[in-house]
Amino acid sequence: MPANHHQRLAPERPPRHDQQPLGARTVWMKKKYAVNLEGERRHAVVARLDDETRVRVDEGDLVPVDHHPVFEGKAISIRHGRKLYLIHITGLDNQGGMVATINGRPANLQVMDELKAQALDTGPEAANGGTITAGIPGLVLDVKAEVGQRVQKGDPVIVVEAMKMQNELAATIAGTVTDIPVETGQTVNPGDVLVVIEADPED
């Protein structure tokens, strides 16, 4: 009989919290985003569980990230792997993008739900560029246009508060407002359609 027959086997240790595979806990919430940075399309998966967040960019690995608001909520600090990013949102553009600085350098950033991005890329609104979408979570403060109203390019059509700033978004084309699927006081998320404008017919 082996000498260690009566020895108790040490219990198997569970994996450390930071080594536990994503599939080991079924309560992770995943969401896919399309990210446009300076005109370049990237794809991201964000997985959340309680206070933990992991992000995959394109075909990379899921990497833990730390993020928290700074400067009274007007900026966000994100640590992704060994890299630290300070993103300061200075305003919104008319295509649902954010006018921002990333580590002090100006950038145009757009984040939206992957499915909404595909719909906008292939839908009829994509052809005339008349769809105004939300770039980041915000609150609709004022709707300045009405369905059926004719607007000129540059006319203010909606006001959205985001990152503690009021952003007046203007018509990107001349045409007729055909849809306003939001109302004052409504919370909006990245990619949500705010105003749809049908372009004037060509002469």
Ordered by where they begin, the domains of the chain are 26-111 (3.30.700.30), 116-199 (2.40.50.100)
With 90 as the cut, is the pLDDT of residue 183 above it?
yes
Q: What is the pLDDT of residue 123?
A: 47
Fill in the amino acid letter for 108.
Answer: N
pLDDT tier for residue 176 given thresholds of 50, 70 and 90: very high
Average pLDDT, the chain: 76
Cα dihedral value 49, 55, 58, 60, nearest 10: -100
Rounded to whole angstroms, how far apart are CA atoms 117 and 35? 9
Mean pLDDT along residues 144-159: 92
pLDDT of residue 28: 75
Note the pLDDT tens digit of each residue in 110-128: 776 666 665 555 444 443 4
What is the Cα–Cα distance from 66 to 68, expressed in whole angstroms? 7
Confidence of residue 96 (pLDDT cuts 50, 70, 90): low
pLDDT for 48: 80
Question: Lowest-pLDDT range, 16-20, 34-38, 162-166, 194-198?
Answer: 16-20
Q: State residue 114's pLDDT score.
A: 66
Question: How would you list the strands of the sheet with 131-133, edge to edge?
Answer: 131-133, 193-199, 175-179, 150-151
pLDDT digits (tens, 9 = 90+) for 53-84: 888 888 888 888 887 777 777 778 888 778 88
pLDDT-above-90 percentage for the chain: 18
Question: What Å distances lie between residue 68 and 32, 54, 83, 131, 162, CA to CA?
Answer: 20, 14, 15, 31, 16
Express as a percent the part of the chain with pLDDT over 70: 71
Comparing 15 with 30, the larger pLDDT belongs to 30
**Which pLDDT belongs to residue 112?**
65
Alpha carbon distances (Å) from 104 to 100, 122, 138? 9, 34, 23
